[in-house]
Structure 1
Amino acid sequence: MSNQDKTIVVFTATGAQGSSVVDSLLESGFKVVALTRNTQGKGATALKMKGAQIAQADLSDVNTYKDTFKGAHGVFINADFWGIYAAQDYNVEATTKEEIRQVTDAMKAAKDAGIKHVVYSSLDENTQAPHWQSKADASKWASQNDIPITNLVMTAYWENISNFKLIQAKDDGSYTLLLPLLDDTKHYGVPVCQTGLWARTAFENPDKWIGKDIYAVTGEETTSEIASILSEISGKKVDTLHLTKEYFHSEAMKKQLGEEMWLNWNLFIEKRITRDVKASLDAAPGAWDFKTWAKNDKGIKELLQF
């Protein structure tokens, strides 16, 4: 079966991950049904102009999307922990339970519809960060219930640096990188704008990737190395916070970050994950490393004024 004969249904199609997946699949000749809650928004309109079929759906309600699975070959599933977290009044236990329900409902519906391949945006287990564990638990459920799944294992988005303005100007004309990590902490990262490169690889090679994990990561620079690269490409001096482990573990730091985000950064400091950058790049030819991403990111250019 050629790509032109395969329809892929994509959740969160106007989001950071989903829009990239739609773009990459369309470029490779797949038919795409893009699911979004707002079919009249700018994001949906842009995807429609590129050739995607737009359908209104909400991952929280299986009845809004199950009909879109009929006749489709594959499904890309990505759940929004943070949106659920806000809706659940920032209750971690309720959020993880709800996220797993939403994902497993979608996987059940996909299996019932005869979907041949599910690519699921997942994360590592045993990190002690709930928003990582909930995704890992859904992956385990899929494996235990014969879902034809490829786990697309993500990591930190490079875009978080620009989206959350983690670069601050100082009075002397220099800048501070506000990543709350130690100088020698490896920051495994990926340009979320290129998520589709890995999803496409999985959908194009089901015999290789069904039942396997495909990792999306393009860099493992330390905090100091990230600051150095930003200095190099901008011509501006960029320094780090020079955090100590003692201060990171202080109550002041935990209060500043909030428990969930403190746990997120702590898993990098405590080296609870690792990544094979070369293997990931081999699976996604053309994916940007950190330096290339930073040169191309509009937000970085605005923050560092170059």
Structure 2
Amino acid sequence: MSSNQDKTIVVFSATGAQGGSVVDSLLDAGYKVVGITRNTESSSAQALKKKGVQLATGDTNDANTYKEALKGAYGVFVNVDFWSVYKATGYNADAAAKEEIRQATDAFKAAQEAGVKHVVYSTLDDKTQAPHWQSKADASKWANQNGIPITNLIITAYWENITSFSLIQAKEDGTYVLNLPLLDDTKHWGFPVADTGLWARAAFENPDKWIGKDLYAVSGEETTAEMAQILSEISGKKVDTLHLTKEYFNSEAMKKQLGDEMWHNWDLFIENRITRDVKASMQVAPRASDFKTWAKNNEGVKKLLGL
């Protein structure tokens, strides 16, 4: 603990879901934390300040806004939000991907210029055919090729998406449906975004092991049907799936319903373009919640199931 007190770690998007989790885990470990946010006067930023976070104004869109905050830092947690960029480009996936790569590589360059010893970057898998995954993977490859002391923290689907997008829906007959656009036997590799910091902290605390390596954040591999069954068990209510067929998933109607970017996102799960070792990941972050534990304790899940 004492050695951590002398180390400052800068967290990008500190008020976001990933950033907030990383902040909390680092504070628990005794690190000095600088939180970068666009608005240091926001209620969420002020809540971080009360926890002991030093706030700094910055935006990944412009490296000049945060370069000063990186000076003297031991480590940096970098996360770039594809979706805000995607919206800003008029939902142009190619333009958004290029812009996300620029923002990420600018952050890496700024960290390198500031003498940062360890960058943990929130990223995704290569060669999935999903643009918002590929842009992160391409930024990771750039860092690896340009001498950035990086740990690529490869995440996957947030279980919180179930509550954020109200994917548990009540039916007229009193039962519920888990509205995930996946086949019943599709593995939904996932984790609670609120646990992101457990893996990031492990990387910062073991630089010799993780610099230059990929670290996977995942704590569940249930199929869609298994997730629905778990939700039924914890609620005492029947939760079914969409019983989606591959033929319908590949239909023009489904592509139109989901939108091109999200269709590609779910397609990579259905086509098994990614895989995860849950046991190995949980050995790095043993306090991370599995799906049943997360769902049983999540207030959003309880609300959607009328508990």
When the two structures are superposed, what TM-score results if normalisation uses the length of structure 2? 0.99
How far apart, in 1, do the equivalents of 2:261 and 2:293 lie?
30
Residue aligning to 1:297: 298
Deviation at 1:38, TM superposition (A): 1.3
Larger mean Cα displacement after TM superposition, 41-50 or 79-88: 41-50
Residue aligning to 2:128: 127
Residue aligning to 1:4: 5
Q: CA RMSD in A?
A: 0.7
How far apart, in 2, do the equivalents of 1:72 and 1:152 lie?
19
Deviations 1:68-106 (A, max 9, x none): 111100000000000000011111111001000000001
Unaligned runs of 5+ in 2: none
SS at the partner of 1:147?
coil
Residue aligning to 1:200: 201
Q: Which amino acid aligns with 1:63?
A: N
Residue aligning to 1:57: 58
Residue aligning to 1:178: 179
Q: Which amino acid aligns with 2:204?
A: F
SS at the partner of 2:180?
coil
Number of matched residues?
A: 306
Deviation at 1:247, TM superposition (A): 0.4
Unaligned runs of 5+ in 1: none
Residue aligning to 2:82: 81
Residue aligning to 2:33: 32
Deviations 1:190-245 (A, max 9, x none): 10011000000000110110000110000000000000000000111000000000
Residue aligning to 1:151: 152
**Structure 2 residue 11 is the aligned partner of structure 1 residue 13:** no
Deviation at 1:276, TM superposition (A): 0.1
**Structure 2 residue 49 is the aligned partner of structure 1 residue 45:** no
When the two structures are superposed, what TM-score results if normalisation uses the length of structure 1? 0.99
Residue aligning to 1:216: 217
Deviations 1:1-57 (A, max 9, x none): 811010000001000000000000000000000000111112111111111101111
Deviation at 1:160, TM superposition (A): 0.4
Residue aligning to 1:234: 235
How far apart, in 2, do the equivalents of 1:180 and 1:106 lie?
34
Aligned residues with identical type, % of pairs: 74
Deviation at 1:296, TM superposition (A): 1.5
How far apart, in 1, do the equivalents of 2:14 and 2:246 lie?
39
